[in-house]
Structure 1
Amino acid sequence: MSSFLYPNFDLSTLALLASAAFALVHLVPYLLDTHGLRKYPGPFLAKFSDVWLGYISKNGHRSEIVHGMHQKYGPIVRLAPNHVSIAEPDALSIVYGHGNGALKSNFYDAFVSIKRGIFNTRDRHEHARKRKIISHIFSQKSVVEFEPHIRAYVGNLLRQWDRLFDLAIKGQSGQEGEGWKGQGGRLWLDCLPWVNYLAFDIIGDLAFGGPFGMIEAGRDLANVPTNQEAVMNNYGSKTAVDVIEIPAIQILNGRGEYSMSMGVLPPSWRPLVCHLPWYRQGQKDVKSLAGIAIMAVSKRLQNPTDRVDLLSKLQDARDSDGNLLSREDLTAEALTLLIAGSDTTSNSTCAIIYYLARNRPSQIKLQKELDEQLGTEDELVTTGQQSKRLPYLDACINEAMRLHSTSALGLPRVIPDGGFSVLDQFFPAGTVLSVPSYTIHRDKAIWGDDVEAYRPERWFERDQADIQKTFNPFSFGPRACVGRNLAFLELQIIVSSIMRRYDIVLESEDQQLSTREGFLRKPLSCTVGIRRRDL
């Protein structure tokens, strides 16, 4: 009896049984084809398992590879057993539009740390409640109030670059690890860390009442409490808190890669996969990043102020029942602001600088517009009001965001009960659909045959209705980025101020902008040579 209940298997038999079980788990759903997806082309492994999408996501070039799949197979590609990518501009309004009933998929569960915020809330009613609380914070009227703070930190950046430039033209170079040198009458530096410092200091000031001090220090730094739970439980207390210094930008990058690659895996796999070495580090990054928000909120609440900023608006916000946000809700939304307000701005700024440095005619044309519209007065930073008179500036920004596509991957949505049709194809309830921004930003029917060229002029040449339905830097519909007004104002002020002040070149004509994709597609570095312009 015991041998029947507990048979003795050798290792080869166990391996064979495990393989057979694994094959059945993935083969049976494919054969049953309950969502009718077997007819759609895609990578062979993707038809049976989420492993293919998980693998390319972890390796950091998902959007480029999915784009290649669309070039090979056409506008509809199966990325996983229950996930279909649709690379057609007309699909945006259907998949992400108002009133379609589609929900965020379980992909977003991998982005929850403190508590669900507006970004990772999947319940429609809960999202509507949170959006009502937060959206007014980013209205055009509110954003104007933040402009002086943005301009102050852009000024800090320019003063740092001016200081280094003055040293560079004297033939000096930075110490080992400082990453700058003087050569050929220019200051040579990697602009990526600096625009990261700028974005973090701006959002630190706007969200928490004070900068992280990265521009002044010239390095990546932030403080987190050694005991996050104790700080959360004692918000507003004057009790001394033990803290450690961490590299916030590095941790933010790690957290994005971890959450994105974890999110594409089935929920049943995640408790097992998270124990693998690479994923364990990702979990540490998630906790450390939450600690930055916890520390910043705690510091702010310990020192009340009448100053109007994002956190003060969150503190005063009430839901439909008149309730204030809980401490956990307040911190979760502050964390969302920290991530969204730093990462997207710095990545886009770096890409814009790169493309303008690479395309000298576009840079010269932009500088001509800046000089004509703003004059030659010795003013470091452009105002938001001035930037409204700069249409070519907007075209330069938009063209870089089209090509670089910081938010490049197709955000997954689950089709509601009843299903719906996209491009004359019916998809039943429960199917996951996405529209990849990286690919539709390269649709030749919309943008022209030279889709890989940086050419701001196309924004004045192409049909504006086609552009509006295709350009998707901030997502689309009710789940679109609530901070888009602030993000674009920041880019206008930052880019116009930098390009008005400096002439910028690349190290070589064939220099490429290397990237790696977590949740966002990030430049890895961008070495440029800057020289102060004679106005």
Structure 2
Amino acid sequence: MSLLTYPLDHPYIFSATLLLAAPLYHIIVWLKDELGIHDVPGPRLAALSDAWLGYWAAQGTRSLVVHEVHKKFGKFVRIAPNHISISDPDALQVVYGHGTGTIKSDFYDAFVSIRRGLFNTRSRSEHTRKRKIVSHIFSQKNVLAFENNVRIALAKLIKQWDKLCEGGIKGFSGKDGGGVWVGREGRVWFDVLPWYNYLAFDIIGDLAFGAPFGMLDAARDIAPVAISEPGAPLKVIYIPAVEILNSRGDFSASMGVLPSWIRPYIKRLPWYARGQQAVKHLAGIAIAAVEKRLADPASAERGDLLSKLQEGKDEDGNPMGKEELTAEALTQLIAGSDTTSNSSCGITYYLSRNPQAQKKLQAELDNALGLEEGVIPYESVKKLEYLDACINEGLRLLSPSSLGLPRLVPEEGLEVCGRNFKAGTVLSVPSYTVHRDTAVWGDDIEEYRPERWFERDANLIQKAFNPFSFGPRGCVGKNLASLELFVIIATVFRRYEFVLESDEPLMTREGFLRKPLGTKVGMRRRNV
């Protein structure tokens, strides 16, 4: 068969068309330079094609590579044909703050599955409507009411970890836990990341869907997902939810940096096709949970996230429909699981690697808590300064979202850090790089040192610290995330002592969130 006789949708023709069309399109855009950004430095390929950023996003190293590019080229760097990254804390308020007119770029279209939710809607009016319904749910008063759900799950975690210390849990080894063994100084050696995943998923399952997934009890990554087939009732199967969530994050973050016109074609390629399947499975978890919840009207009395979403009404007095309710529940599942597990694991790693900081934290906890044991109440630790510094220093080095969240410049243009940008330009401020600004944090930026939070200029730190973004599109659940981290870190380090298995740097992979690839520690009970 000659090339001319291949059908147009044949993989060879499809691939050849992409290879020819994409460069041609970007060369034309580059030559026209309608945005007036020819002079902004950066990798040569990035000025011509989204492929440069797309490649590093797919590799899971976007923030690390963009940081290196900023070190080479300076404050303003062109990382895509229409995308400028700005590594200046002063840019945060302008790009993300109130009243500047920026909106989310089409990057967020890649995160839509059931329908647009609070996180991925790009319409200002629709976002205002959704935020009105959702934001009050995460008021400090409501968040404190959720503490009991956190405490129940955390009690299960320390019960399981006590069993590990006493000789192990039958059946817990291999893929999920990476193996558990006892020895060397009477410690139990294992990977804490799977356990923090189980904890975070069970907490958010209980809050968002009315019941935990049961991962802590089973010591396994498992969750029910709804599969729909035409003409057939919903079928429920069980999948590794943490693994699916990771695949979904890799897929969406990689897809989002590519031009919208090419995305339908890219999805046909094997790696992206697997990611698309992960998106469907993750949506299925929300569908299965909401279906189960709505079938039991009495469960609406639980006072959890889902019941409060059901109660919420927009300014016209209209509640969310079933599909919108499911989409928002999915948003909470995604936002409330990985962020907590990643941060808890990262903080545990850094404190395990820095025994002096760990001992100082434990001394503060011992002094404040006296004979108090078990799961530590938020009220008992919320004002502990060194605990706060330990958490913040962990979030500085391993932010829930390290990449620069993209925003579109409005029609009237925008001035950022002394430079004017035209409408249609995409701007972002990378948290990874801003959290390593030596003018703010000092020369030892890669060191975990909680003391810097008492030594450095508080105004500079307040301006540069951006673990959850801010402004009208900032993380609506940051009060809940803060409560969880205070209770988890206080409880875990009050009860146990940790050392690292090796002194190797923390390895990560970045989808939308920057996730540790594991933290193997030696743990033993403390004598308190």
Q: TM-score, normalised by structure 1?
A: 0.93
Distance 2:295 2:22 in 1: 54
Alignment of 1:105-144 (within 5 A): 105-144=105-144
Alignment of 1:433-472 (within 5 A): 433-472=427-466
Q: Does the 8 Å CA contact 2:51/2:258 hold for their aligned counterparts?
A: yes
> Paired residue for 1:235?
none
Partner amino acid for 1:187? Answer: V
Partner amino acid for 1:389? Answer: K
1:338 aligns with 2:338: no
Distance 1:161 1:181 in 2: 13
* 1:431 paired residue among 425, 430, 434: 425
Distance 2:450 2:278 in 1: 38
Distance 1:398 1:436 in 2: 17
Distance 2:369 2:383 in 1: 9
Change (3 A) 1:17 1:439: closer
* 2:315 paired residue among 297, 317, 320: 320
Q: Does the 8 Å CA contact 2:26/2:49 hold for their aligned counterparts?
A: yes
Q: Does the 8 Å CA contact 1:228/1:294 hold for their aligned counterparts?
A: no
Distance 2:174 2:114 in 1: 38
> Paired residue for 1:10?
none
Structure 1: tracts of 5 or more residues without a match? 1-5, 7-13, 232-239
* 1:296 paired residue among 289, 296, 309: 289
Q: Does the 8 Å CA contact 1:373/1:389 hold for their aligned counterparts?
A: no
Worse overlay, 381-390 or 428-437: 381-390
Distance 1:176 1:523 in 2: 18
Change (3 A) 1:228 1:382: farther
1:370 aligns with 2:371: no
Worse overlay, 480-489 or 175-184: 175-184
Q: Does the 8 Å CA contact 1:167/1:173 hold for their aligned counterparts?
A: no
Change (3 A) 1:523 1:443: same
Alignment of 1:103-502 (within 5 A): 103-167=103-167, 176-177=174-175, 179-184=179-184, 185-227=186-228, 242-304=235-297, 305=299, 306-377=301-372, 379-502=373-496
SS of corresponding position for 1:57 = helix
Distance 2:191 2:204 in 1: 21
Change (3 A) 1:291 1:77: same
Change (3 A) 1:443 1:17: closer
Worse overlay, 295-304 or 442-451: 295-304
Change (3 A) 1:298 1:21: closer
Distance 1:76 1:193 in 2: 38
Partner amino acid for 2:166? Answer: D
Change (3 A) 1:174 1:181: farther
Q: Does the 8 Å CA contact 2:172/2:219 hold for their aligned counterparts?
A: no
SS of corresponding position for 2:302 = coil
Q: Does the 8 Å CA contact 1:174/1:181 hold for their aligned counterparts?
A: no
Structure 2: tracts of 5 or more residues without a match? 6-13
Partner amino acid for 2:429? Answer: V
Q: CA deviation at 1:255?
A: 0.2
Change (3 A) 1:22 1:341: closer
Change (3 A) 1:23 1:384: closer
Q: After TM superposition, what 4+ stretches of structure 1 lie above 3 angstroms from structure 2?
A: 14-24, 172-178, 228-231
Distance 2:25 2:263 in 1: 17
Identity %: 59
Distance 2:112 2:377 in 1: 36
Q: CA deviation at 1:174?
A: 5.5
SS of corresponding position for 1:321 = coil
Change (3 A) 1:303 1:426: same
Distance 2:526 2:19 in 1: 66
Change (3 A) 1:21 1:347: closer
Partner amino acid for 2:59? Answer: N
Partner amino acid for 1:211? Answer: P
Number of aligned residue pairs: give it: 511
Worse overlay, 326-335 or 299-308: 299-308
Change (3 A) 1:280 1:460: same
Change (3 A) 1:277 1:174: closer
Distance 1:161 1:15 in 2: 51
Distance 2:15 2:272 in 1: 25
> Paired residue for 2:11?
none
Partner amino acid for 2:375? Answer: V
Distance 1:19 1:166 in 2: 59
Larger radius of gyration: 1
